[in-house]
Amino acid sequence: MPLPASKTAPVNPEQINAIHAEYREALCGAAPGLRERLDHGTMLPISGLMAVADRYRAVILDAFGVLYSAGAAVPGATETITELRRAGLALRVLTNNASHSPQQLAQRFAQLGFDLQPEEIITSGGAVYSAAGLAILGDDPYLYLGRPDSVTHYAPHATERMVNHPESTLPWSQAATILICSDSAFYGTDLQPRLEALLSTRSRPLIVANPDLVSPSSKGGLKRVAGMTAHLLHQHYGGELIYLGKPFAPVFQQCLESLPGIEPQQMLMVGDTIETDILGSIHMGMESCLVHQGIHADRSLEALETLCRSQGIHPNWVTTTIRS
């Protein structure tokens, strides 16, 4: 049975909760003691990041919902970046974006008034090039699901190994895996029926750079994004799901490697999504701050804390805004 042909098909909140629980259980199942550490966070309220900045050597910020939202910088976010930098902290943006390169994202950030360099932006697409990502992809041909203008950034050895590269002579049937970076050029295109026909002959591992399930749509409500499309493909056609982006380790590992000499416990991850930013950072041994904006902006602070408890994922700090 084919997938719906539109990105904006209704999203089922129970399905989202169930997949997020799978993410948590996958990490807890492989990391002894993680469940206890997830319970440990004190969720102390703070008034902005500068209130705790002197405890850390690096601050790692999620992008959407923390630095910008609805096409504009979050009020006070550009100044906070400047203040953190002035205080001597190393900065990274850690995003599940696998649609745009760090260079493209740095340009966007500059347009929004942020002083951020491409080297400071770690993307889940870039995690394809982590040791784990390259090992998972192996040396076999693969099919790339993503934006055509990101092929040069996120599709390794594209001209030789990407079966759907314009210059490729490989038959699609040789694709050993499906690399899923973005679904923005999938629904309603020729690629959708061809990929589904391919998977209906034989399931293949689905390597998911961006595990995010939904994001706010510019038309209101939520729209599916790459992680949900991967899950739907898995439901319809089988194949192991292998994740690279938050909350999973490969993209966090890249972030750690970009900060040599700084231990995970000296890093503060700042995010608005409990099930990716906070879960993944606790898994890696970082401290964490949940920002009450972005994806949970419409909940009260009390409701957000209740949600943390019900998920069994407790950050160290909670703040309504990153600006002090």
Q: Does 183 bind Mg ion (CB under 5 A)?
A: no
Question: How far is residue 6's CA from residue 187's CA, in Å, rounded to a whole number?
Answer: 5
In angstroms, what is the minimal distance from the CB of 212 to Mg ion? 8
Nearer to Mg ion, 165 or 246 (CB): 246
In angstroms, what is the minimal distance from the CB of 250 to Mg ion? 18
In angstroms, what is the minimal distance from the CB of 210 to Mg ion? 12
β-strand 214-216 against 222-224: which pairing, if any?
antiparallel
Nearer to Mg ion, 205 or 247 (CB): 247
Which range, of 17-25, 108-116, 179-187, 292-300, touches Mg ion by CB under 5 A?
292-300
The residues in 25-44 that bind Mg ion, with binding defined as CB under 5 A, are none
Nearer to Mg ion, 205 or 245 (CB): 245
Which range, of 54-62, 148-156, 233-241, 300-308, touches Mg ion by CB under 5 A?
54-62
State the amino acid at position 133 in one-letter form.
G
Site string for Mg ion, 228-267 (x = CB under 5 A): ----------------------------------------
Bridge partners, 224 (sequence order) = 214
Q: Does 62 bind Mg ion (CB under 5 A)?
A: yes
Q: Does 64 bind Mg ion (CB under 5 A)?
A: yes
Q: CB of 254 within 8 A of CB of 124? A: no
Q: Does 287 bind Mg ion (CB under 5 A)?
A: no
Nearer to Mg ion, 3 or 279 (CB): 279
Q: Does 212 bind Mg ion (CB under 5 A)?
A: no
The residues in 265-284 that bind Mg ion, with binding defined as CB under 5 A, are 272-273
Question: How far is residue 225's CA from residue 187's CA, in Å, rounded to a whole number?
Answer: 11
Which range, of 60-68, 154-162, 173-181, 207-215, touches Mg ion by CB under 5 A?
60-68
DSSP conformational letter for 244: -
Which range, of 134-142, 162-170, 177-185, 286-294, touches Mg ion by CB under 5 A?
286-294
In angstroms, what is the minimal distance from the CB of 111 to Mg ion? 19
* DSSP per residue, 85-116: HHTT-EEEEEE---SS-HHHHHHHHHHTT---
Question: How far is residue 248's CA from residue 283's CA, in Å, rounded to a whole number?
Answer: 8
Which range, of 20-28, 61-69, 170-178, 209-217, touches Mg ion by CB under 5 A?
61-69
Nearer to Mg ion, 183 or 272 (CB): 272
Longest pairwise C-alpha distance within the chain = 57
* DSSP per residue, 19-85: HHHHHHHHHHHHSTTHHHHHHH---EE-SSGGGTGGG-SEEEE-SBTTTEETTEEPTTHHHHHHHHH
Question: How far is residue 308's CA from residue 43's CA, in Å, rounded to a whole number?
Answer: 9
Which range, of 20-28, 55-63, 79-87, 285-293, touches Mg ion by CB under 5 A?
55-63
In angstroms, what is the minimal distance from the CB of 63 to Mg ion? 7
Q: Is 249 exposed, middle or buried (0-12, 13-18, 19+ CB in 10 A)?
A: buried
- For Mg ion (CB under 5 A), the number of binding residues is 6
Question: How far is residue 281's CA from residue 51's CA, in Å, rounded to a whole number?
Answer: 20
Question: How far is residue 295's CA from residue 63's CA, in Å, rounded to a whole number?
Answer: 12
Which residues are at the interface with Mg ion (CB under 5 A)? Answer: 62, 64-65, 272-273, 294
